[in-house]
Structures are given as C-alpha cells and as structure tokens.
Amino acid sequence: MIVAQRKPFPEILSTIRDYEKILTVGCGTCVAVCLAGGAQEVSTLNWELSAARSLRDQPLELGEATVTRQCDHEFLAELDSLVQGYQALLSMACGVGIQFLAERYPDKPVLPAVDTSGMSGNRDVGWYEERCRGCGRCVLASTAGVCPITMCAKGLLNGPCGGTSGQYCETNPDQPCAWHTIYHRLAGQGRLKDILEYQPPQEWRNQVPRTIVQPGYGHELENEGAETA
Ligand code: SF4
Ligand code: SF4
C-alpha cells in the first residue's frame, strides 16, 4: 500500500496562512490504514488548526470531508457541490490523490498536508517497510524476490558494491546488504546461476507519467504512452 505521514504541524500552518476558509479532504484507503489521512486524522488536524489560529486571533473556518479514494474521480464527484464554498483545499491523501484533487478543481489552491513515502508492506502494527519504488520493470525473478532498487542503498542491479560489511550494508550497520540476502536466498533455492543474469540499466520510465490500460476492463488504448498490462 501507499504510505504517507502527516507533515510537521508548523509546515501545515504556514501552508494555509493566506486562507480563512478551508476544506480538509481525507482519503479512506491507504492513508486511512496508515493513520495519516483518514476521517479521524482530518478531524484531529482541523481541531489543531482551529486552536492554533484562534490563539493567533486569525479567523479560520474549516470544513471536512473524506472520500473513499482521492485517486479516483468517481469518488471526487461527491465533493463538487462542496468545494465552491471554500478558498482552498487541504488534502490528506497521498501525492496521487492530491494531484487528482488539484486537477478536478483547477481554480482552487490544493495544499498537501501529508508527505508520501512510497509503497510499503505492513511489518507489524504501524510499522511499514518500503519494498517497491514502482520502477516499471520488475527484476524480482532473478533476485530471489528481493528488490535491489529499494533494499540496496545504491539501487544496484547487478551485484554488490564491494562495501558489504559482513551481512550488512556499508551505509547502515543495521540494514542487511540486499545483495547478501539475494545471494544466500538464491543459493538456498539452488539457483545461484540466476545472479549472473545481466540486468540492463533501468530506463527510469518513471521520469514521465506512465499510464497503464488494463485490457480486462475493455478499454481502448487512448494514447501512445499507455502500456497494456
Ligand atoms: S524491481 Fe523493485 S522497484 Fe522495480 S517493480 Fe520490482 S519491486 Fe518494484
Ligand atoms: S553494501 Fe550491499 S546494500 Fe549496501 S550499497 Fe553495497 S550492495 Fe547495496
């Protein structure tokens, strides 16, 4: 899931300094699960903002709304009649949701209240580990299910950097070296030869917005940049 964290409160307060009527918009999916931007977090943030502005004698009128997913126009539609009454929107969704909100209401300033970290797994309650950076060309087949882009500090695709210290990364003595893990997991599976499979440099197609069209939904390809899954 996508994981995010609420921005530091002074930063949010500064972001909204020019506005007196703001709608805080939460998202009911990923950011709600990681307790960064669901309905509860929207209410808490609004309460804190009200108190802070009140102490400064700066008027502030806040509204709140949480949609099922901000990254889906279908769910944003329910905000259409609401947003016109506000000067600005404060979004607690991930970066995708914030951008969809800004796209739908281009005449409104849309301000982020969270920092989006990435795609992570749930290691324990409230403990998220990043595992994928959405590179667009997954190499997990030859790396024993260990992502070298996310788990290696240098994002190396073809073996370790040479600085491995024991089984740990040279940049962090608490972080296992990704390539140490890859080597030993492949060895345990009797397929060490896979480590010799050369991985060409990533094209980093994530430097331009990628579009994926799932054929299963029956859509026609709408533009040349779209990939079929
Ligand atoms: S190689 Fe890593 S970053 Fe790329 S898709 Fe696979 S898990 Fe994600
Ligand atoms: S020590 Fe291992 S994980 Fe750390 S940068 Fe080098 S290869 Fe990557």
Helix (H), strand (E) counts: the chain = 8, 11
Q: How far is CA 153 from the centre of its chain?
A: 19
Q: What sections of 67-162 are H helices per DSSP? A: 73-76, 80-83, 95-104, 148-151
* Residue nearest atom 4 of ligand 2, based on CA coordinates: 169
**Lookup result for tokens 């805080």:** 24
Neighbours of 221 (CB within 10 A): 12
Residues in the chain, overall count: 229
CA–CA dist 2, 124 (Å, integer): 15
**Residue nearest ligand 1's atom 5 by CA:** 138
Residue 165 amino acid letter: S
Q: Give the closest residue (by CA) to ligand 2 atom 7.
A: 160
Let me know if 83 is exposed, middle or buried by CB neighbors in 10 A (0-12, 13-18, 19+): buried
Ligand 1 atom nearest to CA at 138: 6
pLDDT of res. 219: 65
Q: Please, which residues have CB within 8 angstroms of residue 29's CB and are 6 or more apart in sequence?
A: 1, 68, 69, 71
Instruction: Name the pTM for this structure.
Output: 0.85
| 94-105 pLDDT per residue, tens | 999 999 999 999
The predicted pLDDT at position 206 comes to 57
CATH class of 2-118: alpha beta
> CA-based angle 119:5:15, to the nearest 5?
125
The ligand 1 atom nearest the CA atom of 131: 7
In angstroms and rounded to an integer, the radius of gyration of the C-alpha atoms of the chain is 22
Enumerate the CATH 3.40.50.2300 domain ranges in the chain, comma separated. Answer: 2-118
Number of other CB atoms surrounding residue 152 within 10 Å? 23
pLDDT at 214: 81
pLDDT below 50 — which residues of the chain? none
C-beta 226 within 6 A of ligand 1: no
CA nearest neighbour of 42 among 59, 23, 55? 23
